[in-house]
Amino acid sequence: MQNGLPKIIVSLAIIVIIAGCGPRGNMTIAEKWQVVMDMEKETLERLYREAPETKRKIAKAAGYGTFSNANINLILVSAGGGYGVVVDNATGKRTYMKMALGGVGLGLGAKDYRVVMVFKDKATLNKFLESGWDFGAHADAAAKAGKSGGELSGEGDIISGIEVFSMTESGLALQATVAGTKYWKDDKLN
C-alpha cells in the first residue's frame, strides 16, 4: 500500500490540475468568454498597480497574453494547467488558449498564479499562437496564505521577444524544476 501512495497522490494532483484547465464545461460559450475576460481584466489591473511601467510596455507591444494557472509540486514531479487569452494589439483579435505544464525537480506545494506575456513583435506573437510551446528552467520561492504574502516577478525574455510577468494568487510552493509548458488554442472558444 505504501508503494502505491505516491502514484495515487500524483494521479489526484493531475486530476485536480486538468479540472482547473479552464472555465467549466457546463457553461455556455458566452459565459466561458466572460470568465476569461474577467480574469484578464483583474490580472492586468493588478499588474498595472504593482508594476506601473508594464502598462506602457503592453500598449507598445505587438500583443499580450494573460493566463490563469494552477501548479502542484509533489517531491520530484510538477504538474499544472490553466487557461487564458492572447490579444493582437494591431487587430484586437482575441485567441483563447489552454495550457498544461509538466516537469521534474525538487518541489513541494501548490500555487495559483497569473501570467502576463508581452509579445514584443508580430513574428513572435504569431509563432506563439501557432506553436505555443515554451520550455524552461524555473526556480522560485513563493508563499501566500489568504491575503498575506505573495509574489510578483518579471522573468525576462524566456523566448527572445517575450517578456513574462507572474503574480501568485494563493498557495505555498518551494521549487526548483525543469518544466515544459504547452500552450494551445482552445478550439471550443475560438
Domain spans of the chain? 5-185
C-alpha span between 145 and 167 (Å, rounded): 14
C-alpha 34: how far from its chain's center?
Answer: 18
CB 125 within 8 A of CB 183: no
pLDDT of residue 146: 45
pLDDT band at 25 (very low <50, low <70, confident <90, very high): low
pLDDT at 143: 42
Contact between 74 and 61 under an 8 Å Cβ cutoff? The reply is no
- Looking at every residue in the chain, the average pLDDT score rounds to 75
pLDDT tens-digit series, residues 81-129: 899 999 999 999 999 999 887 776 666 666 678 889 999 999 999 999 9
Strands 63-88 and 94-119: antiparallel
**pLDDT of 31-79, one tens digit each?**
999 999 999 999 999 999 989 999 999 999 999 999 998 867 666 777 7
Residue 20 has pLDDT above 50, yes or no: no
pTM of the model: 0.73
Three-state SS letters, 87-126: EECCCCCEEEEEEEEEEEEEEEEEEEEEEEEEECCHHHHH
Percent of the chain with pLDDT over 70: 59
Note whether 47 and 39 are within 8 A (CB). no
